[in-house]
Amino acid sequence: MSFGADEEILQDFLVEAGEILEQLSEQLVELESRPDDADLLNAIFRGFHTVKGGAGFLQLNELVECCHIAENVFDILRKGERRVDAELMDVVLEALDAVNSMFSEVRERAPITAATPELLAALARLAEPQSADEAVAAPVEVVEEPVAESASEDITDNEFEQLLDSLNAVKAQAEAPAAPVASAPVAGTAASDEITDAEFESLLDQLHGKGQFAVDAVAPAPAAAAPAAPAAGDSSDITDDEFEALLDQLHGKGNFAVDALESAIASAPAAPAAPAAAAAGSDLISDHEFESLLDELHGKGKFDAAAATAGSASSVATPAAKAPAAAAAPKPAAKSEPKAEAPKPAAAAAPAPARAPAAAPAEKPASEAETTVRVDTARLDEIMNMVGELVLVRNRLVRLGLNSGDEAMSKAVSNLDVVTADLQTAVMKTRMQPIKKVFGRFPRLVRDLARQLKKEINLELVGEETDLDKNLVEALADPLVHLVRNAVDHGIESPEEREASGKARGGRVVLAAEQEGDHILLSISDDGKGMDPNVLRSIAVKRGVMDKDAADRLSDTECYNLIFAPGFSTKTEISDVSGRGVGMDVVKTKISQLNGSINIYSTKGQGSKIVIKVPLTLAIMPTLMVMLGNQAFAFPLVNVNEIFHLDLSTTNVVDGQEVVIVRDKALPLFYLKRWLVSSAAHEEQREGHVVILSVGTQRIGFVVDQLVGQEEVVIKPLGKMLQGTPGMSGATITGDGRIALILDVPSMLKRYATKRI
- Contact predicate 106/63, CB 8 Å: yes
My answer on whether 744 and 634 are in the same domain is: yes
Report which of 601, 616, 465, 583 is spatially closest to residue 526, judged by C-alpha positions.
601
pLDDT at 296: 60
pLDDT at 572: 54
My answer on whether 337 and 208 are in the same domain is: yes
DSSP states along 224-247: HHHHHHHHHHT--SPPHHHHHHHH
Phi first, then psi, for residue 530 (nearest 5°) are: 70, -175
- Contact predicate 702/693, CB 8 Å: yes
* Structural domain contains residue 26: yes
DSSP states along 604-667: TTTEEEEEEEEES-SSEEEEEEEEETTEEEEEEGGGEEEEEEEEGGG-EEETTEEEEEETTEEE
- Contact predicate 181/273, CB 8 Å: yes
Phi first, then psi, for residue 83 (nearest 5°) are: -105, 150
Sheet containing 640-647: give its strands across: 640-647, 687-695, 698-704, 665-671, 657-662, 652-654
Interatomic CA distance for residues 149 and 343, integer angstroms: 10
My answer on whether 674 and 730 are in the same domain is: yes
Which class for 445: exposed (0-12), middle (13-18), buried (19 or more C-beta within 10 A)?
middle
Q: First-to-last CA distance in the chain?
A: 58
Say if strands 507-516 and 706-714 run parallel, antiparallel, or are unpaired: unpaired
* Structural domain contains residue 607: yes
Interatomic CA distance for residues 647 and 644, integer angstroms: 10
**3-state SS, residue 364:** helix
My answer on whether 500 and 600 are in the same domain is: yes
Contacts of residue 266, defined as CB under 8 A and 6 or more positions apart, other chains included, come to none
Taking only Cα atoms into account, the Rg of the chain, rounded to an integer number of angstroms, comes to 35
My answer on whether 315 and 208 are in the same domain is: yes
My answer on whether 632 and 656 are in the same domain is: yes
Number of domains in the chain: 5
My answer on whether 474 and 414 are in the same domain is: no
- Domain containing residue 607: CATH number: 3.30.565.10
DSSP states along 286-329: PHHHHHHHHHHHTTSS---HHHHHHHH-SGGGGGGS-HHHHHT-
pLDDT digits (tens, 9 = 90+) for 299-356: 544 444 444 444 443 433 344 333 333 333 334 433 334 333 333 333 333 333 333 3
* Range(s) of the domain holding residue 357: 181-368
Interatomic CA distance for residues 106 and 102, integer angstroms: 6
Last residue of a domain, one of 413, 431, 449: 431
Contacts of residue 703, defined as CB under 8 A and 6 or more positions apart, other chains included, come to 646, 648, 669, 670, 671, 672, 673, 685, 688, 689, 690
My answer on whether 112 and 230 are in the same domain is: no
Report which of 271, 284, 361, 378 is spatially closest to residue 318, judged by C-alpha positions.
271
My answer on whether 328 and 462 are in the same domain is: no
Phi-psi region of 214 (alpha: psi -120 to 50; beta: other; left: phi over 0): beta
* Structural domain contains residue 159: no
Interatomic CA distance for residues 270 and 219, integer angstroms: 8
pTM, two decimals, is: 0.58
Element (H, E) at 165: helix 157-175
Q: Largest alpha-carbon pair distance within the chain? A: 118
E-strand ranges in 354-499 read 432-434, 457-462, 467-469
- Domain containing residue 35: CATH number: 1.20.120.160
Q: How many CB atoms lie within 10 A of CB 743?
A: 24
pLDDT at 631: 87
Residues lower than pLDDT 50 in the chain = 1-2, 133-153, 177-192, 209-236, 252-282, 300-369, 579-581, 755-757
- Contact predicate 66/97, CB 8 Å: no
My answer on whether 60 and 33 are in the same domain is: yes
Give the number of C-alpha atoms closer than 13 A to the C-alpha of residue 621, restricted to the C-beta side.
Answer: 28
E-strand ranges in 372-451 read 432-434
Q: What is the DSSP letter of 185?
A: P
- Domain containing residue 404: CATH number: 1.10.287
My answer on whether 601 and 625 are in the same domain is: no
Element (H, E) at 143: helix 132-144
Last residue of a domain, one of 130, 150, 167: 130
My answer on whether 693 and 604 are in the same domain is: no
pLDDT at 200: 64
- Domain containing residue 706: CATH number: 2.30.30.40
Interatomic CA distance for residues 203 and 321, integer angstroms: 10
Q: How many CB atoms lie within 10 A of CB 108?
A: 8
Last residue of a domain, one of 387, 410, 431: 431
Phi first, then psi, for residue 48 (nearest 5°) are: -60, -40
Helix (H), strand (E), coil (C) string for 461-527: EECCCCEEEHHHHHHHHHHHHHHHHHHHHHHCCCHHHHHHCCCCCCEEEEEEEEEECCEEEEEEEEC
